[in-house]
Chains A and B, each alone.
Chain A
């Protein structure tokens, strides 16, 4: 019966891991993960487990019962889906803002200067998919500018867009300002009339395995230390 014993152990370990209070599972929009990774030291007693993904995929995972304590989404529609499904334990809080920029390879070899250049046939443009927050923001920017583009690919998360630009496979994209910094891309600011400001929301998840840890994380992010961290990493609070 040893094999059965081992199997039972594996199952038991799986069942227990959710209730170990030393860990906090936080689902994070890919563009916000760097804040959470930098939070670990200041946040102290709990070990942060950051599940990085497109906000929308994280929402789907929560709706399908993934045991998360906290979720950070990069826009309101993603969070609203959780609110509507009664999956948040407390009302979501606005965490901070992020700007959008046109990102190009360092040095801007194709001399891209405005949103209009994104429609140039010689520019390989990558946008975030319409399913994720960055894709929704990007569509707003392009709509406001009245520019019709022909992207070569629609990436599944904000960092995926930045990654394709950093690797040189694509020439231009619309990314969060903070991601442009992290990935060493040249960012071109958008003029105020078409600019869109990204909003990050945080909420504790209903039925969280570690609600105290989740609350502590949210309190930290909203504290003056947390806000200082966000500012340092390029977010506006």
Chain B
């Protein structure tokens, strides 16, 4: 049966998609195409740093988010609702609040940061590891939630059979659950990576802004907007393009 969209629903839906599309059209119109390659190469440092930070953060988020997702999908423990709420928090939290909270805890005067400083003589603010921590913090929920959904979708009967054949829980996790959830985990990793790549507020708050050390592409865009807006437009467009590719790739992995 062909489904018709009621007029008023269709109208608002059109306004909705328009609201989402108009900014990108603006960016396309304002991007100085003749300078595109030049702007990109001039921002090489920020691009390279963004790759390092976002990939590292995605790895951290996968290493921690997959186990967390598994625990939420399969684990039976008290306070699971609370754990899930904590996992969701960075998604709804303004990134600047995340950055402030990171400063309050892992900063030089933070209750964890001060101990690390005393013991190891290491501080995180204003360092690349600090930028990676900020990006990991915001990326982790995405990896966790997608991993949880992925593990839930895996038919447990295979693992039950493997258990009757004497496979231990670690072996069942590694040889059955993990491979079966792999497409979802890959999608989660890509989403987490994209979130890390776009991270701005927590990074600028916690890690600061220094060329080559903590100035990732989004920070470079913010500061370019104040000195060379056209460069900011073309760099923004690059991030839009990367995000579109990510969505297409992630969706393909997700649907498969």
On A, residues with C-beta under 8 Å from B are 1, 3-4, 7, 54, 56-57, 59-60, 63-64, 124, 126, 129-132, 151-156, 164, 167-170
Q: Complex Cα distance A56/B222, Å?
A: 11
CB <8 Å contact, A131 and B208: no
B108 beta carbon closer than 8 Å to chain A: yes
Contacting residues, chain B, for A132 (C-beta < 8 A): 226
**Residue in chain A with minimal CB distance to B113:** A169
Q: A4-B11, A4-B12 are in contact. Are A131 and B227 (CB under 8 A)?
A: yes
Number of interface residues of B (CB under 8 A): 23
Q: Contacting B109 at CB < 8 Å: which of A4, A57, A169? A: A169
> From residue 9 to 38 of chain B, which have CB atoms closer than 8 A to chain A?
11-12, 15
Q: How far is the CA of A190 from the CA of B8 in the complex (A)?
A: 66
Q: How many A-B residue pairs have CB under 8 A?
A: 66
Q: How far is the CA of A75 from the CA of B122 in the complex (A)?
A: 37
* Chain A residue contacts of B12, Cβ below 8 A: 3-4, 7
> What are 26 sample pairs from A and B whose C-beta atoms fall under 8 A apart?
A4-B8, A54-B226, A56-B226, A56-B227, A57-B226, A59-B226, A60-B225, A60-B226, A124-B126, A129-B209, A131-B226, A131-B227, A152-B125, A152-B126, A152-B210, A153-B125, A153-B126, A153-B210, A154-B208, A154-B209, A154-B211, A155-B208, A156-B209, A156-B223, A169-B103, A169-B126
Q: Measuring CB to CB, which residues of chain B are less than 8 angstroms from any residue of chain A?
A: 8, 11-12, 15, 103, 107-109, 125-126, 204, 207-211, 214, 222-223, 225-227, 229
A153 with B214, Cβ < 8 A, contacts A4-B12, A169-B103, A169-B107 known: yes
Cβ-defined contact, A167 with B103, below 8 A: yes
CA of A54 to CA of B226, assembled, Å: 9
Contacting residues, chain A, for B125 (C-beta < 8 A): 152-153, 169
Report B-chain residues with C-beta under 8 Å of the C-beta of A124.
Answer: 126
Q: Is the CB of B15 within 8 A of A129?
A: no
Q: How far is the CB of B208 from chain A (nearest CB, A)?
A: 3
Q: Are B223 and A129 in contact (CB under 8 A)?
A: yes
Partner of B223, one of A59, A131, A151, A167: A131
Given the interface contacts A57-B225, A131-B223, does A1 sit within 8 Å of B109 by beta carbon? no
Residues of A within 8 A of B210 (CB): 151-154
| Beta-carbon contact of A156 and B222 below 8 Å | yes
- How far, in angstroms, from A57 to B221 measured CA to CA in the complex? 12
4 A-B pairs with least C-beta separation: A153-B208, A152-B126, A56-B226, A131-B226
**Alpha-carbon distance A201/B229, docked complex (angstroms):** 23
**Bound-state Cα–Cα, A169 to B225, Å:** 26
Nearest to A58 among chain B residues (CB) is B226
Chain B residues near A63: list those with CB within 8 A. Answer: 229
Which chain A residues border B209 with CB–CB below 8 Å? 129, 153-156
Extra A-B contacts (11), CB below 8 Å, given A7-B15, A131-B226: A1-B8, A63-B229, A64-B229, A129-B209, A151-B210, A152-B208, A153-B126, A153-B210, A154-B208, A156-B223, A169-B109
